[in-house]
Structure formats: C-alpha cells, structure tokens
Structure 1
Amino acid sequence: MSETPSNMLALGTTAPEFYLKDTNSDDTNFSFADIKGEKGTLVMFICNHCPFVIHVVEEIVRIANDYRVQGLGVVAISSNDIVNFPQDSPKLMTEFAFENSFEFPYLYDETQQVAKAYNATCTPDFFLFDNQNKLAYRGQLDDSRPGNGISISGSDLRGAIDGVIYNRIINPNQKPSIGCNIKWKK
C-alpha cells in the first residue's frame, strides 16, 4: 500500500463548485451549494477499496452523524479511475455507502475535474470549509494509520470542525492526510 500525503490546498481558498451524481440515488445530483451546511461544510475524498479509508470509515460516519445535526454539511466524493479500478465503480460505491450506513451523499467524480479543482491527492483527503465557503482545515483525521497501533479518535478533524462551528481559532499548523493516491485516468 502506497502512502501519499495531501497537497495541502491554501487555507482561505474558496470551495470549488461541483455538480456530481449521487451513487445512492438513480437520478440525484448535488452541487456544493446543495451540500453546504449553515455552520460549515466537510468535503471528503474517499474510495471503496483503500485500506486507509477502510481503517477510518466508522469514525468518518460518526463524525458526519455527530456534526450534521449541528449545522455541518457533509459529502464524500470518489474520483478514482473505474476502468483500471473497477472496485470503485458507482454500483460498488452504493453498496459501500449502504454497508457503512452513510447518511450523506457519496458522489462520483467521473471526469476527475472536481478532485483536480480541490487539489485532492489521496484517500482519505479532508477539506473543511467555514460558513463563508473558505477553507479552514485540510489534513488528517488523526494520527492513526493501518497497523501503527494508534487508536482512531478523529481528533484533528473534530478539533477543526469544533473551531468552525463554535467560531474558535483553528491551528494553522495542520498535518497532511496520508492515504492511497487517487487513481488518475491515463
């Protein structure tokens, strides 16, 4: 398993817009404006098969469930090339979302333009925007990685979300996420 770090998009960047198909519905598309929460918005780049995502998916769902009721918009996006990585196909994304009890949209970025606009490089890759759609946090969930023995807490991301929701200062020294590289089309 290759370890790829986040690119760390500049803090303060305005959230790139998107309009993508929700794999949990036959005919629903979502834009950033549709997902946007009253207090802020969490955009996550994930996929079905990455061991780093599988390692933290339960905490991702807990975070979404804990904070959506507090005004946080939440969305997950998969941008992987499904020709060479069919395990990330929209049909299997639907199954993955169901098996993991996603109550947030899981969108498919077929053209990979959204991942490029966000400068996403790995799965998982987290982008937290404030209520003005400005990037407040990008980086890791916490220090846990598959096999490193550190318990999953979500502490880095939870601290940033608390900062956005409760208007607290968020530490600008943020650690990049580490995960599988996005599978780019050739």
Structure 2
Amino acid sequence: MARTESNMLALGTKAPNFELLDTVSGKKLKLSDVYGEKATVVMFICNHCPYVKHLNKEIAKLANDYADAEVGFVAISSNDVDKYPEDAPDKMKINAEENGFNFPYLYDETQEVAKAYDAACTPDFYVFDRNLELIYRGQFDDSRPGNSMPISGRDIRTAIDAAIMSKNIYKAQKPSMGCNIKWKE
C-alpha cells in the first residue's frame, strides 16, 4: 500500500459537478442530489484500503450524527476495478450495507470526478459550505491504522460544525493520508 497524502485543493474552490452511478440504489446521482442546505461532505473512499477500513464505522457514525442537520454526505470510489476487483460496484454495494452507510456510494468509472476534485488518496475528505465552496479538505482526524490514537473525527466534525454555523475555520488543515487512488493507465 502506497502511503499518499491529499493534494489539498484550494479553499474556496466550487464543488465540481458530477453524475455517477449510486451502487446502492442503482440510480445516477448528481451533486445537486446529495447537496446539504448547510454543508456537503464529499469523501473519496474504496473497499480495499486499510486506511478506509479503519474509519468505515466512524464514517457511518459521522453521517448518522449529522442526519438531521441539513448536511449532505456522499462517498465516491474512483479506483481501477480491473486491477482492484474488490472495489467493483457490486462489492461497493455490499460494503455500504455492511458498514451501515446512510449515504450514496458512487462509482467514478472514468475517474474524471476524482481528477476534478484533485483527489489523491483514500480516504480523502472535502467539506463544502451552503454555497458549495470548499471550506475544508484533509484528514478525518489523527488516527491511522496501527498508531493507537482513538478515532474521534475531530478535524472533520470541526469543519462540518463551522459550516452549519456559517463560521470560518481558522485552524491549520492537515492532509488526509491513505492508499493512493488506483489510476487507470
């Protein structure tokens, strides 16, 4: 597994639009379908990455905790499924069900959406405000597989709370770290 950090897309960037297959419902969804009135959280994840597996239950908990707060959540997998078949859409649906995801888990077959977001790793997190302007990109928290730090979601929760209250985030933002996105050749 190649340890890769986020590219840290420029704050203020407008959320790139997309239309992708939701592997859970079988429907094509756009950014407007997952938009939250107060914040929209876009996560690049996959099934096989140990960094994502480390956070899956907490990602589900995060989305559940904000279910009534007008925050939209969406996960996207952009990996090359020819080389990484465990990241295929049928397995994405199983993963979403097993982890209790209450948000769409979209398949970015062409990898164009990952490129538009300048995503580099899994997991890679983005929080957009009510105007779909980027206010946070980076890590879930300081916990990583094997570092014995508890998973708190502190960094992303701070960002979501700031978006809900229409406040600026002043603290330094740390890049996420995980497996590199498996790009097609």
**TM-score normalised per structure 2:** 0.98
Q: Aligned partner of 2:24: which letter? A: N
Aligned residues, how many?
185
How well do the aligned residues superpose, as a CA RMSD in angstroms?
0.8
List per-residue Cα deviations over 1:82-136 (Å, max 9, x = no partner): 0000010000000000100111000000000000000000000001000000000
CA distance in 1, matches of 2:167, 2:38: 12
Q: Aligned partner of 2:10: which letter? A: A
Q: Which residue of 1 aligns with 2:84?
A: 85
Q: Which residue of 2 aligns with 1:75?
A: 74
**8 A contact 1:8–1:138 mirrored in 2:** yes
1:113 aligns with 2:104: no
Q: Which residue of 2 aligns with 1:46?
A: 45
Q: Aligned partner of 1:6: which letter? A: S
SS in 2 for 1:4: strand
> How far did 1:166 drift?
1.3
Q: Which residue of 1 aligns with 2:35?
A: 36
> How far did 1:173 drift?
1.6
Q: Which residue of 2 aligns with 1:25?
A: 25
Give me the identity figure in percent: 59
CA distance in 1, matches of 2:15, 2:61: 24
Q: Which residue of 2 aligns with 1:146?
A: 145
- Which segments of structure 1 move beyond 2 Å, counting only runs of 4 or more? none
List per-residue Cα deviations over 1:33-83 (Å, max 9, x = no partner): 111001010000000010000001111111111113100000000000000
> How far did 1:168 drift?
2.2
> How far did 1:16 drift?
0.1
Q: Which residue of 2 aligns with 1:13?
A: 13
**TM-score normalised per structure 1:** 0.98
> How far did 1:169 drift?
2.2
Task: Structure 1: state its 5+ residue gaps.
Answer: none
CA distance in 1, matches of 2:137, 2:175: 7
